[in-house]
A and B are shown apart, each in its own frame.
Chain A
């Protein structure tokens, strides 16, 4: 059952990173419970996508990127590479900034000063650590985010109202902003790098066909873990911030969602939760980008190998992390980067999901473990949704962001 840590660390990168927490907090502060359905929808979509990524890896011993390169060829792979890596890099900048913001809250020292030490620590863990250490360590540290759930319960929410909000409804006012936040929540949840990370992790953990049932449980439990905590952030924000008219325009304002429930420790718990959650997300994204290059180009890769044994893979994550520190050192606001990256994630989703549908129906890779009609229907709906998100995300960002 230690394998569950792969699910938890994946969901940390999907639901508890700076983008998801900020948008969930904004959603709660602005619209109360009304956007709960977006988090639930994102969670369900992610459960299916992550389960499929794990199944592909366990049965075919290919990661999603391996299979995409082999089936669709180098030109297509390169287009996806550019789209996905650019967006993932922006998210990495935001996550390192999220760690910096957390440290800023704790110490009063501005986040640009933390950019280099944080990047160094993330890099060092990848340089010296194994996949198991990163997976288990990030998961364990990520458990501190259970404080969001604790805070939500302490505020005594109306569970019937929360349940009713699982059905989409339009607000009376601020429709453009509502749409933008909904798109951002879904885009922040269904990040393609999660699929690439999870399938690579399944190979690192040496999964085979016997892991198929476990994979279903891990995907379900792991993503639900993240989704529930994201819902807790929204609920806490709805109860703590909305009645006081606090709109979460800046990151420190988001910390206030914890202080109503936990006046003495809430502020610091929020900071610590964000530090650990963003740390896990930063590791996951750095790994996902390095895996993408290594698998796509056919290099040796494994987090369990020493850097000299997979030099090009180690070189990629070293450069990526170094480059990600630069905007933060220059004082670029990580929240602005987050907002833009979420819109771009939504815009580039079709690039990742459409080939995935083909791969999950490939008898050569999956044999009898191909998608059934339920999974295919869900992926088809996600594809439809991703095209709609791709078209509306950027205009909505301009109007409602």
Chain B
């Protein structure tokens, strides 16, 4: 199945129980000579700030907020993302099993 990455960005993701997680803001990839493989999906507002390279500007505020777990980045391995309906991506695991991106 073909999915347009640019249309996936910004779509809301829910977990296997239907709980809202956040929006897909970035896709982590690995590249070799011939292919580009998706490793993980980054979900959350902090991922957007990462994508805008805006931490330099927002780091003092961001650190304070991240330690309070208000702005979180979830890193979802590719195996755990169900994209059968690209407009409504779902996780194959529960929110509690997600790990935060480093």
List the interface of chain A (C-beta within 8 A of B).
71-73, 357-358, 361-365, 370, 376
Using CB atoms, name the residue of chain A closest to B49: A358
Min CB distance A339 to B, Å, is 36
Report if B101 contacts A (CB, 8 A): no
Report if B53 contacts A (CB, 8 A): yes
Number of B interface residues at 8 Å Cβ cutoff, please give it: 6
Within 8 A of A (CB), among B16-52: 52
Q: Is A357 a contact partner of B57 (Cβ separation < 8 A)? A: yes
A357-B57, A363-B53 provided; 9 other pairs, C-beta below 8 A?
Answer: A71-B53, A72-B52, A73-B9, A358-B53, A361-B54, A361-B57, A362-B52, A362-B54, A365-B53
Main secondary structure of the interface of B (DSSP, over half): loop
A357-B52 Cα distance, complex, nearest whole Å: 11
Partner of A376, one of B9, B54, B57: B57
A376-B57 Cα distance, complex, nearest whole Å: 9
A365-B52 Cα distance, complex, nearest whole Å: 11
Report if B56 contacts A (CB, 8 A): yes
Within 8 A of A (CB), among B43-102: 52-54, 56-57
List the interface of chain B (C-beta within 8 A of A).
9, 52-54, 56-57
Q: Is B53 a contact partner of A370 (Cβ separation < 8 A)? A: no
Using CB atoms, name the residue of chain B closest to A363: B56
Residues of B within 8 A of A71 (CB): 52-53
A238-B53 Cα distance, complex, nearest whole Å: 48
Min CB distance A67 to B, Å, is 10
Residues of B within 8 A of A364 (CB): 53
User: Which A-B residue pairs are the 4 nearest by beta carbons?
Assistant: A361-B57, A362-B53, A361-B56, A358-B54
A275-B54 Cα distance, complex, nearest whole Å: 44
Residues of B within 8 A of A357 (CB): 57
Min CB distance A355 to B, Å, is 9
The A/B interface has a contact count, at CB < 8 Å, of 23
Q: Is A370 a contact partner of B56 (Cβ separation < 8 A)? A: yes
A365-B57 Cα distance, complex, nearest whole Å: 14
Residues of A within 8 A of B54 (CB): 358, 361-362
Residues of B within 8 A of A363 (CB): 53, 56
Min CB distance A294 to B, Å, is 21
A376-B59 Cα distance, complex, nearest whole Å: 14
Residues of B within 8 A of A370 (CB): 56
A358-B56 Cα distance, complex, nearest whole Å: 9
Residues of A within 8 A of B56 (CB): 361-363, 370
Residues of A within 8 A of B57 (CB): 357-358, 361, 376
A364-B56 Cα distance, complex, nearest whole Å: 11
Using CB atoms, name the residue of chain A closest to B57: A361
16 contacts between A and B (CB under 8 A): A72-B52, A73-B9, A358-B53, A358-B54, A358-B57, A361-B53, A361-B56, A361-B57, A362-B52, A362-B54, A362-B56, A363-B56, A364-B53, A365-B53, A370-B56, A376-B57
Using CB atoms, name the residue of chain B closest to A72: B52
Residues of A within 8 A of B52 (CB): 71-72, 358, 362
Min CB distance A79 to B, Å, is 15
Min CB distance B58 to A, Å, is 9
Residues of B within 8 A of A73 (CB): 9
Min CB distance B43 to A, Å, is 17
Residues of A within 8 A of B9 (CB): 73
A229-B78 Cα distance, complex, nearest whole Å: 61
A127-B53 Cα distance, complex, nearest whole Å: 39
Residues of B within 8 A of A358 (CB): 52-54, 57
Residues of A within 8 A of B53 (CB): 71, 358, 361-365
Using CB atoms, name the residue of chain B closest to A360: B57
Min CB distance A375 to B, Å, is 12
Min CB distance A119 to B, Å, is 39
